[in-house]
Amino acid sequence: MTVSTTVLGIESSCDDTAAAVLRRDKTGKTEILSSVLYGQSSLHAEFGGVVPEIAARAHAEMLDHCVEEALAQANTSLEAVDFLAVTAGPGLIGGVVSGVMCAKGLSVATGAPLYGVNHLAGHALTPRMTDDIGYPYLMLLVSGGHCQFLVVRGPDDFDRLGGTIDDAPGEAFDKIARLVGLQQPGGPAVERAARKGDANIYTLPRPLLDRQDCDLSFSGLKTAVLRARNNIVAEHGGLPEQARSDLCAGFQAAVVDVLAEKTSRALRIYLQSNPPQPALCVAGGVAANGAIRMALERVSKKFGADFIAPPIALCTDNAAMIAFAALEQMADRPPDDLTLSARPRWPLDHTRPAMLGSGKKGAKA
Ligand code: KG4
Ligand code: ZN
């Protein structure tokens, strides 16, 4: 009798090549034995965004090494892997194809069944892996490529309450950094500058707060920052250090206000179903922002919901979440076969409209 299940997960949907090994024992307890990630940011730095062809080639080159490294760190071998899990979308098609092909090859070689996993399900199920929380919970996904509110009701049961209609917040942070001459990734640089600034110097919009839904928009805010910057440059012949900090502070305060208000609305909708242990969870790189975290925590408290922010290495793209999602979904669905294909625009909530177009991180969701 098998006493535990070992899953090898593979993720390559954007600019990180990742592999992880997870083991679930017969009591249902899951351990992350390894989680390896080869980032590509240096390859894309000079282009100001992810270049799909470069990403796909780098994934194809690194996947084997990444899998070997994950197995070695987990002190296990391919023969001991019971199941394979791979991101089959959404994301940049070249990267997703690389991962799916690699996983299919491993499946054929070892005979281990293969699960194609939705990348967003990986993010959305992470709080169960890190904090063992019960369904249903509210998830806010905020990264360079994602921005959406999801009520997570089960391993493959998601209700999308709303999301961005244009940019993802991390994408906006990165663009603002570029506008004011700060380095990439923009989020941490803008946050650092904002600490030295006054958020009340420049009047910036809080887009879509006049709409009662859970949708968000960041592109108008970005344009307002561009205009303010141009005015400063025209007046001073450059962007003084203090004005840069004030602009960053103003921008961040606007993002905080928008996220806090829309999260309140999403919480109100989620709480209507009387969840037994209400929880607001976050995932995505933007969740690393201190001001945003504090605001979300404050809102959760106000509504009597727990606030759960997984460790940042598991909030951002990783393969442990993909292996975990497969473990969660296994009981309810059979493995995929070799016809599994890449789905670059795979929506999580089957009842909602398809995704937005592409951003600098591929298909936005
Ligand atoms: O989840 P992630 O690592 O990758 C994807 O987008 O897939 O998120 C990266 C994004 C970048 O846009 C980065 O600027 C943003 O998260 N980010 C932050 C902070 N740290 C990272 N944004 C705001 N404040 C931060 N401290
Ligand atoms: Zn992601």
The rounded Å distance from CA 235 to ligand 2 centre is 40
- Residue of 123, 116, 170 lying closest to 149 (CA atoms): 123
Residues with CB under 5 A from ligand 2 (ion): 317
* Ranges of CATH 3.30.420.40 domains, the chain: 5-125+317-329, 134-313
Confidence at residue 54, expressed as pLDDT on a 0 to 100 scale: 86
pLDDT at 353: 57
In this structure, which ligand is nearest to the CA of 123? 2
- pLDDT tens digits in sequence order for the chain, 365 residues long: 468 999 999 999 988 999 999 999 999 999 999 999 998 888 887 777 788 888 889 888 999 999 999 999 999 999 999 999 999 999 989 999 999 999 999 999 999 999 999 999 999 999 999 999 999 999 999 998 889 999 999 999 999 999 999 999 999 999 999 999 998 889 999 999 999 999 999 999 999 999 999 999 999 999 999 999 999 999 999 999 999 999 999 999 999 999 999 999 999 999 999 999 999 999 988 999 999 999 999 999 999 999 999 999 999 999 999 999 999 999 999 999 999 999 998 988 776 655 555 655 655 66
Judged by its nearest atom, the ligand closest to the C-alpha of residue 11 is 2
For the CA of 186, the closest atom of ligand 1 is 14
Q: Tell me, what's the pLDDT at 155? A: 97
| pLDDT attached to residue 356 | 59
Q: What is the CATH number of domain 5-125+317-329?
A: 3.30.420.40
d(CA 105, CA 63): 12
Residue 1 pLDDT: 43
CA dihedral for 221, 289, 284, 331, sign (positive or negative) = negative
Find the helix packing angle between 241-271 and 219-236, rounded to 10°.
Answer: 170
Ligand positioned closest to the Cα atom of 359: 1
The amino acid at residue 341 is S
Q: Which of 286, 294, 361 to mutate to test the pocket of ligand 1 (most atoms within 8 A of CB)?
A: 286
Q: Which residue out of 173, 184, 252 has the highest number of ligand 1 atoms within 8 Å of its CB and is therefore the one to mutate?
A: 173
Locate the ligand 1 atom nearest the alpha carbon of residue 15 and give its number.
Answer: 7
What are the tens digits of pLDDT across the range 234-268?
999 999 999 999 999 999 999 999 999 999 999 99
* pLDDT at residue number 352: 61
- CATH superfamily assigned to domain 134-313: ATPase, nucleotide binding domain (3.30.420.40)
Q: Which amino acid is at 144?
A: G
Ligand 1 binding pocket (C-beta < 6 A) is 14, 143-145, 170-171, 173-174, 185-188, 191, 284-286, 288-289, 316-317, 361
The neighbouring-strand residues paired with 86 are 10, 116
* Sign of the dihedral defined by the CA atoms of residues 180, 184, 186, 188, in that order: negative
Cα–Cα distances in Å, from 80 out to 116, 303, 320, 363?
Answer: 20, 46, 17, 35
**Helices assigned H by DSSP within the chain:** 41-44, 52-73, 93-110, 119-131, 169-179, 186-195, 219-236, 241-271, 290-302, 312-315, 320-329
